[in-house]
A and B are shown apart, each in its own frame.
Chain A
Amino acid sequence: MYSPTMRLTDEERITLEGGRGDALRKAMESVARFGDVFGADRLVDLDHGVHLVTSFGIPLLGPVFDMMDELIAAGLRTPEPFTVDPRPCDFANVPVGPIEKLIFTKVMYAKQKDYEAQLREVGLKDGKAFTCACYFDEVGNVPKRGDTLAWAESSAVVYANSVLGARSNRNSGVLELMCGIVGKAPRFGFLTDEGREATWTVELRTTALPEAQLLGSAIGMKVVEDVPYIRGLDRYLGTELDDRAKDYLKDMGAASASNGAVGLYHVDGLTPEAKDLGESLVRAGAKVYVIDDAEIGRVKAGYPMMWKDADARPSRCFIGCPHLSRAQLYGWLDRLEASLKASGRKRVAVPTVLTTAPDVAEAFRSDARAAARLEATGAALSSICPLMYMNNPLCGKKPVITNSNKLRTYTKARYYTDADILAIVTGGRS
């Protein structure tokens, strides 16, 4: 029997000793061992539903599916409904060729239906809960400041910690489900006040607001997994977390989490803890990273060219990794229309997919006029995970372009700024 280093309550100990069944014992032991590795002093109750990273039924995870069956057989489910990352396929809105489809359905994600059934059994919120941006109001997995969480999706973790002021570690896939099942998380890292202190200060000295995806990339590559305190961004974003600021921070955070491993950042004068605690969040001796226009340019120029033919015509464009907010969706619609008009085209020259949460897509489609306008541009609306799509080797080797630094990092997709993406998809420039 496992004897944890951390302090457990009597109730937790009974569970760990198997007093509430073997499956729950294993879940508790997984959480306790995980906490012990990272020096947790105790377990704390979760205040909010978990968000799972694994949304895809890839057959190689057979042993994980067996574990899910064990949880289900024991009647275990999370006390709060949970959300999960986006689905890997959407053939209606992101069509693929017959061989690509065969690989998706018979090889890569052959267990998709079975896995989704398992997710429902253990507490999935509903059939629309598939998004990386579970914190959108339309989706409803929105923690409050100070809430203890156990999330795994890196872009969601960094948003919850930084923008919402909730507290989650960057959990490994499945561990977040184990925490959800026992309703507790080990207290260490971002769950503690000291773990939220900044060990870097980032001085933003650009002449204009940088592209969120580039600023996040620069920060992630420099500080890797440390906590940065960013000065100078409030100059451009203001001091209120309005839709524009939240969307910017969503994309910046996702880039910092994927180009590095940032799980929390503070923005001076803007994010909740920075507004309340200010410079006291910065540890003595914090390292300094100055970002000016030249540094942003250096970072962007350093991205490797992953296409075999650098001059290839893009075969598809993904906009929305992480998923677009409702405001971003309408913003892209306006910009696509204006840019098409300016270039004298009626429809996009490159098959373009805007991705958003199913609940946001539903709300958008309920606006019949907006839906018709989008359809007229030729761009598609989907709730797919572009990253999972690109994992199909046949899809992954095609010349795909994106404005996502996360997608660039994990696949061969080529990154362009928003302005360049717009020019390419509406004007045919490549």
Chain B
Amino acid sequence: MAKKAVTPTRMVLNQLKVRLKTAIRGHKLLKDKRDELMRQFMDVVRKNKVLRTRVEEGLTEAFGALTVAGAVMSPEMLGQALMYPRQSVSLDMSFKNIMSVNVPQYTFSTSAADPADIYPYGFTQTSGELDKAMQSLSRVFEDMLELAQVEKTMQLLAEEIERTRRRVNALEYVMIPEMQENIKYISMKLAENENSTKVRLMKVKDMVLKEAIEERRAREGRITENLG
């Protein structure tokens, strides 16, 4: 690992220690977040799978019925019958917060309360097959709406999980080891400095002592000379 240049001082060491503590705490929190997101995600995925199959089956059925209706009636008549909707769908959206991911929640209401009101045409000139097609289409529509909600939730969660996982890994495998290494480097460097200072001091002390002793000896020598 390429080591960043750090100045081996006590101040930097203290700063690094604080940062390491924060990083470890953040790592733990993010890991928890990732695990919880994953749990929620798996629920959503399971739900999505069921819904998707149901919608695909429902739509195939509805389109099949529509094809039959198209075969029985002339295309112009079919187009005319379905041209102007009798019913309108109004959709309300709110957001739900899952582990700080905002996922949409849809609620819809139809303008026509009576389920029989879905047919936007008179019954005299249309075939019964068309009624059936419309019926299955409106039935599958509810599932489609739920599918939209679940699928969007799934996509948003997947996105967030990926991001969180990257962060967890970056902290775990890059940031934290790097900081630990730097801390080790600084404390070793500091200890080394301390040692060399100590040795230097001892050396100086030796030198001073030696000088003092020699001076003393010289003095004593002079005194004996004078006396003798």
A binds B: no
Tell me the B residues contacting A by CB distance below 8 Å.
none
